[in-house]
Amino acid sequence: MKVLFIGGTGNISGEISKLVIEKGWDLYLLNRGNRLDKIPEGAKAIIADINNEEEVSKLIKNMKFDVVADFIAFKPEQIERDIRLFTKKTKQFIFISTASVYQKPSAYHMITESTPLYNPYWKYSRDKIKCEELLIEEFRESKFPVTIVRPSHTYGIEKIPLAVKSGKGAWSVINRIINGKPVIIHGDGTSFWTLTHNTDFAKAFIGLMGNRSAIGEAVHITSDEAITWNEVYDCIGNILNVEVKKVHVASDLLVALKPELEGDLIGDKANSLIFDNSKIKRLVPDFIAATRFYEGVKISIEYLLANSELQVEDEEFDSFCDKVIELQEKIISSYKL
């Protein structure tokens, strides 16, 4: 099988690339070449910016693929470009969307692929919905061979799932836990959340590649394990052998103090998300998300502690946490009877 990945070296796509090579498939990675060390041995790099449509068109002029997957398309105009570039050049085009497209708040606790797509809180999600709509319309009008994949919160060795976190990585929160400082969890920490290890995600994704039954379909790939945010932090604390000092702060208050959190919280993490994975299991019958969260995050934490270059401090984030926690403590103290 001849495969082209646009991107191919990220948290999700990197693991899929490894499996493609293991299967002996012919893999091309089209990216800007900023992470050449992440390209698996045996893959062929096409160094270009996908946003330079004219250049990419020339580079793939005489090429055709069994599967093309775009891991870095976020806006409708990027999908319009992909349709122009890959019409009649691939037997299957896979678009990586997001599970945050599902209705917020959900009208039913179990998310299926038929759950309405509606997220007024996050432009990122609304843009992904528009991308999906463009692709489905193209499938209906001209049989463009699209498969839409919706990941939820997918993590791996270099990514630790956290509730309220720094934009510079996980270290700020992990370091606070190690040093006995309180950490912020949105709401009361009892909402359910689904976390999927990237190696599990990759197994399901591979099963969709070249799968004729997946053409014209949208499918999410997630674990069947749903745990609360309190349990997420308790797992991390157990691994670090530290009791986590959890401070619960209302999501609305966090957004009021830091508006850029609205999409990530109100549009995503503040909601309980439990997924019905019947569809992916029907399309890929041998798929099982085998990595329990405790096992997966233990590897991630050990990797972070072993690699000092990943231990990036964020004084602005730490200051924000301290101020929010202090503010809440003052409010509580001033209204105690």
Q: What number is the average pLDDT over the span 145-159? A: 97
Looking at the structure, tell me whether residues 187 and 329 fall in a common domain: yes
Looking at the structure, tell me whether residues 204 and 76 fall in a common domain: yes
Looking at the structure, tell me whether residues 189 and 210 fall in a common domain: no
Taking only the tens place, the pLDDT of each residue in 170-191 is 999 999 999 999 999 999 999 9
Looking at the structure, tell me whether residues 106 and 71 fall in a common domain: yes
Looking at the structure, tell me whether residues 146 and 50 fall in a common domain: yes
Which pLDDT belongs to residue 270?
95
Taking only the tens place, the pLDDT of each residue in 278-336 is 999 999 999 999 999 999 999 999 999 999 999 999 999 999 999 999 999 998 888 86
Residue 91 in this model has a pLDDT that exceeds 80: yes
**Residue 48: pLDDT band with limits 50, 70, 90:** very high
Find all residues with CB under 8 Å of 296, minimum gap 6, and list them.
155, 156, 195, 197
Looking at the structure, tell me whether residues 207 and 80 fall in a common domain: yes
Looking at the structure, tell me whether residues 6 and 149 fall in a common domain: yes
Run of H or E residues at 159: none
Q: Is the dihedral of CA 155, 160, 161, 165 positive or negative?
A: negative
Residue 61 in this model has a pLDDT that exceeds 70: yes
Residue 39 in this model has a pLDDT that exceeds 90: no
Structural domain of residue 116, as residue ranges?
2-155+197-221
Q: Which residue has the tokens 């994704």?
A: 205
Looking at the structure, tell me whether residues 108 and 185 fall in a common domain: no
CA pair distance 252, 255, nearest whole angstrom: 5
Which pLDDT belongs to residue 337?
59
Looking at the structure, tell me whether residues 107 and 186 fall in a common domain: no
Residue 70 in this model has a pLDDT that exceeds 90: yes
Taking only the tens place, the pLDDT of each residue in 191-238 is 999 999 999 999 999 999 999 999 999 999 999 999 999 999 999 999
Looking at the structure, tell me whether residues 103 and 143 fall in a common domain: yes
Looking at the structure, tell me whether residues 184 and 201 fall in a common domain: no
Average pLDDT, the chain: 96
Looking at residue 52, which CATH number applies to its domain? Answer: 3.40.50.720
Find all residues with CB under 8 Å of 159, minimum gap 6, and list them.
11, 170, 198, 300
pTM of the model: 0.95
| Lowest-pLDDT range of 26-35, 96-105, 239-248, 282-291 | 26-35
CA pair distance 162, 29, nearest whole angstrom: 30
Which pLDDT belongs to residue 35?
78
Number of structural domains (the chain) is 2
> In the chain, pLDDT over 90 holds for what percent of residues?
93
Q: Name all contacts of 55-59 with Cβ < 8 Å and 24+ positions apart.
A: 56/30, 56/85, 57/85, 59/30
Q: What number is the average pLDDT over the span 263-273? A: 95
